Structure 1
Amino acid sequence: MSGIDTLPPLREVISDHGLTARKSLGQNFLLDLNLTAKIARSAGDLTECDVLEIGPGPGGLTRGLLAEGARHVLAIEKDARCLAALAEIAAAYPGRLEVIEGDALAIDPLTHLTPPIKIAANLPYNVGTELLVRWLTPPTWPPFWETLTLMFQREVAERIVAQPGSKAYGRLAILAQWRTEAKIALSLPPQAFTPPPKVSSAVVHLAALKEPRYPADPKTLERVVAKAFNQRRKMLRAALKGLAPDLEDRLIASGIQPTDRAETVSLEQFCALARNVKAG
């Protein structure tokens, strides 16, 4: 019996179901149920929420979310080997866990969820950033989710919360901080996982703002930021060449010097530049 429910410890579950982590699926299992419960708590009050979980694996975080009172958990799992272990959790929490086998990049979860919705996941390393960018760039804002509580490699987590002037500052920081309040909630050493990854991990909590921090057209902002950071070592007058015929004037009008580099430009300045570029 584990400390958070009447189900067996995760090591026993993994052994019973032959669940060795697969590198091809970006799997690193978190076995300490005290830690998974701590991650679930960092998502806030779950009692009135549906929760979307991607890549539950043997169900450590799933059990944490349910034990913390999540109204309904929708778990999307690509690895069919994990389904039997997840079925045991569903039986222990009747009517509160739904498991879908498939690729999270290809499944629309909204038909299975009722707002308010939170997303919590120990994301597979190979799709984590792509999923985050999708959640941050929906066609309309605010998004279907209220908060994201996501585990990443520490390096990716630092890129999400990075400030101008740091090496980690880039496109991911702009996308995240424009529309959310982002913070690192928890850090985890490699030894917390089976098998231990080569890098440390961190849990990032992102709360959706009702409106973006500064006005800007999303597609224009994405285009400007992607172009600026694609050649981050170049001055912006060179990195953004071709963006507008009178580029230097638009940079100056946005409070940016043409000789500045992307990593020194604030979110507010990028939004001003996106408005000036959009203005034609």
Structure 2
Amino acid sequence: MSAIDRLPPLREVIATHELSAKKSLGQNFLLDLNLTAKIARQAGDLTGCDVLEVGPGPGGLTRGLLAEGARRVLAVEKDPRCMAALAEISAEYPDRLEVINADALDLDVTAHLTPPIRVVANLPYNVGTELLVRWLTPAQWPPFWDSLTLMFQKEVAERIVAQPGSKTYGRLAILSQWRAEAKIVMTLPPEAFTPPPKIHSAVVHLTRRETPLFPADYKVLSRVVAAAFNQRRKMLRASLKGVAPNIEEVLKEAGLEPTLRAEQVSIEGFCALARAVAGKG
């Protein structure tokens, strides 16, 4: 599959440009172009879409996205060492790849992209969750993206798709599933990467909901959920006592027993609670 284009294999690219992965940047490179093309395909038909990729590194996934027909790719890479390798890909795919040497946390990408937009990325481990939360919490909904196809540490992926009653169910699951449909579409072993991380990885595909699953004010919902899971072993009447006066009455108004614990409450339940708390404000 290294023949998806006329560019050299990734191991050769890394050797040529001396791109040893930096732990400080959360880098673990995928060298198998079979895998990078498979990840690209998890995002669906890309032919009519602009794609945002964060942390392309030597460009394995970038090449997969372009080979799979992405209309245009915006690759945001913090590591200046990768610019020469990415420039070679840009030359192979004229006018279809824009590379920006920047920190994705500091960049407004919307000025560089034309809808419909999909985000596909093997996210650096050290910023993956923060980027996901930002993409799920814009000032206006629906967001700039139609879907997110993102690689995380497997334990993070499991938190995103977790269901009530499980130990992994928490703030990330509620936020992700309230505003998007989320599913794990691939898992990858450590040996798929260079250098191999100590953990397995997984690709999560999130498709935005045009409107959230249940009505609630995001800021109130976020505050309620944070308080509940910050003390997840306590009953709601204890963990939420600082959220609203007469919290037991508010819980009952939302249809929730005060003796429940956070992990027992569905997204619908938390949204009802957020509405009840907002009504007391």
Shift of residue 231, structure 1, vs aligned partner:
0.7
Q: Aligned equivalents of 1:191 and 1:255: distance in 2?
A: 48
TM-score (normalizing by structure 1): 0.99
**Number of the residue aligned with 1:215:** 215
Aligned 1:64-103 pairs, distance under 5 A: 64-103=64-103
- Tell me, yes or no, if structure 1 residue 61 matches structure 2 residue 90: no
**Number of the residue aligned with 1:264:** 264
Shift of residue 244, structure 1, vs aligned partner:
1.1
Q: Aligned equivalents of 1:183 and 1:111: distance in 2?
A: 29
**Number of the residue aligned with 2:245:** 245
Does the CA contact (< 8 Å) of 1:179 and 1:212 recur in 2? yes
Aligned 1:76-225 pairs, distance under 5 A: 76-225=76-225
Q: Aligned equivalents of 2:139 and 2:2: distance in 1?
A: 42
Does the CA contact (< 8 Å) of 1:3 and 1:34 recur in 2? no
Q: Aligned equivalents of 1:19 and 1:243: distance in 2?
A: 49
Q: What's the CA shift string for 1:87-114, capped at 9, x where partnerless? A: 0000000000000001000011111100
Does the CA contact (< 8 Å) of 2:2 and 2:34 recur in 1? no
Q: What's the CA shift string for 1:242-262, capped at 9, x where partnerless? A: 211121011112221111110
TM-score (normalizing by structure 2): 0.99
- The amino acid that maps onto 2:149 is T
More divergent stretch after superposition (240-249 vs 23-32): 240-249
Does the CA contact (< 8 Å) of 1:232 and 1:262 recur in 2? yes
Shift of residue 163, structure 1, vs aligned partner:
0.1
Q: How many aligned positions are there?
A: 280
Q: Which segments of structure 1 move beyond 6 Å, counting only runs of 4 or more?
A: none
Q: Aligned equivalents of 1:168 and 1:243: distance in 2?
A: 23
More divergent stretch after superposition (251-260 vs 197-206): 251-260
Does the CA contact (< 8 Å) of 1:54 and 1:77 recur in 2? yes
Structure 1, unaligned runs of 5 or more: none
SS in structure 2 at match of 1:257: coil
- The amino acid that maps onto 2:8 is P
- The amino acid that maps onto 2:20 is T
Shift of residue 271, structure 1, vs aligned partner:
0.2
Q: Aligned equivalents of 1:162 and 1:253: distance in 2?
A: 26
Shift of residue 211, structure 1, vs aligned partner:
0.3
| Percent of aligned pairs with the same amino acid | 75
The alignment yields a C-alpha RMSD, in angstroms, of 0.8
SS in structure 2 at match of 1:135: helix
- The amino acid that maps onto 1:146 is D
Shift of residue 241, structure 1, vs aligned partner:
0.9
- The amino acid that maps onto 1:33 is L
**Number of the residue aligned with 1:43:** 43
Shift of residue 149, structure 1, vs aligned partner:
0.3
